[in-house]
């Protein structure tokens, strides 16, 4: 059975403290005065002794509530309510009182070693910011809500890592490294679904550590370097082809020189070598005509 939080009120502690002090002082004065003057009957003495005893028991009803803290009240195992009004409060002295912090808290998960969507072993960790929003569920629905938050957050993180690749190999593909905001939103949602039974709200969840596992880190670095080289080469070739096209169009438009197809091919080849080569080329001066 799910137990939901119900807020209850407790009496002001200072007012009750003054009342109990007055009653206790009155009982002591009456007992002491009656014992000296012997004006009180045994029955009245017993009555005032009981009043003094009850007054002492009532002192156990005092408790303090810190700001952003809820105190869960139980009466012989039965949930009676939660007091959230800060300050010195008083309630039934037979209530069991358990404070539950409502403040925002955060923790970082352990560095987990899991396989991503492509089966590559990776190391991943996350920072989770959370707070209790239902003190009854946090107290009675789970055994230890703080440990529950830690364990379920790591389980959600493991499951998240298996749904995404470490890096995207297709344009538009969501990856752990390339779509941090989307991955963080998914992680927050998944953790929240697991922690809702414990009366916990997830404020934020973000990946704090992401790396390939040591045994494949070197190979993956080479793969990333190769991808970067290919991308750079593609840019260079695209630019070189555009420059060659522009050169041929300008030469033809300005009637600088007329080239047949064979000479155009040679010119294109030379320009591409110059523009795409990794090393600087050595110019060769043609002392004759282009046809000899």
pLDDT at 124: 92
Do 95 and 113 share a structural domain? no
pLDDT in tens, 122-174: 899 999 999 999 999 999 999 999 999 999 999 999 999 999 988 876 666 78
Classify residue 269: in a domain, yes or no. yes
Do 128 and 58 share a structural domain? no
Q: When comparing pLDDT for 7 and 224, which is higher?
A: 7
118: CATH: 3.30.479.30
pLDDT at 132: 96
Q: When comparing pLDDT for 117 and 279, which is higher?
A: 117
pLDDT at 200: 95
Classify residue 287: in a domain, yes or no. no
Q: When comparing pLDDT for 3 and 72, which is higher?
A: 72
Which residues are CB-neighbours of 31 under 8 A, at least 6 positions away?
Answer: 40, 45, 48, 49, 52
Classify residue 75: in a domain, yes or no. yes
Model confidence at 219, pLDDT cuts 50, 70, 90, reads: low
**Residue ending a domain, choose from 180, 212, 244:** 212
Do 110 and 78 share a structural domain? no
pLDDT at 180: 87
Model confidence at 16, pLDDT cuts 50, 70, 90, reads: very high
Q: Other CB atoms closer than 10 Å to residue 210's CB: what's the count?
A: 18
- Give 115's strand partners: 121
pLDDT at 214: 74
**Residue ending a domain, choose from 212, 230, 255:** 212
Q: What is the mean pLDDT of residues 218-227?
A: 63
Classify residue 87: in a domain, yes or no. yes
Model confidence at 256, pLDDT cuts 50, 70, 90, reads: low
> Taking phi first (over 0 means left), then psi (-120 to 50 degrees means alpha), and beta for anything else, what does residue 161 get?
alpha
Strand-pair category, 112-115 with 95-101: unpaired
Q: What is the mean pLDDT of residues 19-30?
A: 89
**Number of residues that this document lists for the chain:** 292
**Residue ending a domain, choose from 212, 230, 260:** 212
Query: Which of 3-7, 45-49, 200-204: highest mean pLDDT?
Result: 200-204
Classify residue 153: in a domain, yes or no. yes
How many folded domains does the chain comprise?
3
pLDDT at 227: 65
Interatomic CA distance for residues 193 and 139, integer angstroms: 18
pLDDT at 118: 83
Classify residue 284: in a domain, yes or no. no
Residue 70 scores a pLDDT above 80: yes
Do 226 and 184 share a structural domain? no
Do 118 and 199 share a structural domain? yes
Do 245 and 223 share a structural domain? yes
pLDDT at 61: 93
Share of the chain above pLDDT 70, in %: 77
Q: What is the mean pLDDT of residues 215-233?
A: 65
Do 231 and 132 share a structural domain? no
Model confidence at 289, pLDDT cuts 50, 70, 90, reads: low
The region of weakest confidence among 84-93, 183-192, 220-229 is 220-229
Name the nearest CA neighbour of 130 among 157, 164, 103. Answer: 103
| Domain span holding position 232 | 217-276
Alpha helices in 145-213 (DSSP H): 145-163, 180-195
pLDDT at 116: 87
Model confidence at 276, pLDDT cuts 50, 70, 90, reads: low
């Amino acid at each position: 059975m799910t137990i939901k939080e119900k807020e209850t009120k407790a009496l002001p502690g200072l007012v009750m403290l003054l009342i109990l002090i007055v009653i206790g002082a009155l009982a002591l004065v009456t007992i002491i005065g009656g014992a000296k003057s012997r004006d009180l009957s045994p029955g009245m003495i017993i009555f005032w002794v009981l009043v003094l005893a009850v007054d002492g028991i009532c002192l156990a009803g005092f408790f303090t509530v810190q700001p952003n803290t809820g105190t869960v009240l139980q009466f012989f195992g039965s949930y009676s309510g939660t007091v959230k009004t800060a300050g010195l409060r008083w309630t039934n002295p037979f209530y069991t009182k358990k404070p539950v912090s409502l403040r925002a808290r955060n923790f970082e998960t352990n560095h987990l070693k899991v396989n991503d969507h492509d089966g590559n072993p990776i190391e991943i960790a996350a920072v989770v910011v959370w707070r209790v929003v239902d003190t009854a569920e946090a107290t009675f629905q789970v055994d230890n809500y703080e440990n529950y938050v830690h364990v379920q957050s790591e389980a959600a993180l493991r499951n998240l890592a298996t749904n995404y690749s470490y890096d995207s190999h297709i344009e538009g593909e969501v990856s752990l490294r390339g779509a941090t905001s989307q991955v963080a939103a998914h992680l927050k949602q998944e953790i929240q679904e697991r922690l809702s039974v414990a009366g916990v709200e997830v404020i934020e969840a973000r990946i704090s550590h992401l790396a390939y596992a040591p045994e494949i880190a070197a190979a993956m670095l080479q793969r990333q370097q190769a991808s970067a080289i290919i991308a750079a080469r593609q840019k260079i070739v695209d630019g070189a082809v555009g420059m060659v096209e522009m050169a041929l169009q300008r030469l033809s438009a300005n009637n600088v020189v007329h080239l047949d197809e064979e000479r155009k091919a040679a010119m294109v080849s030379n320009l591409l070598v110059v523009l795409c080569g990794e090393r600087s080329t050595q110019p060769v001066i043609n002392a004759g005509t282009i046809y000899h």
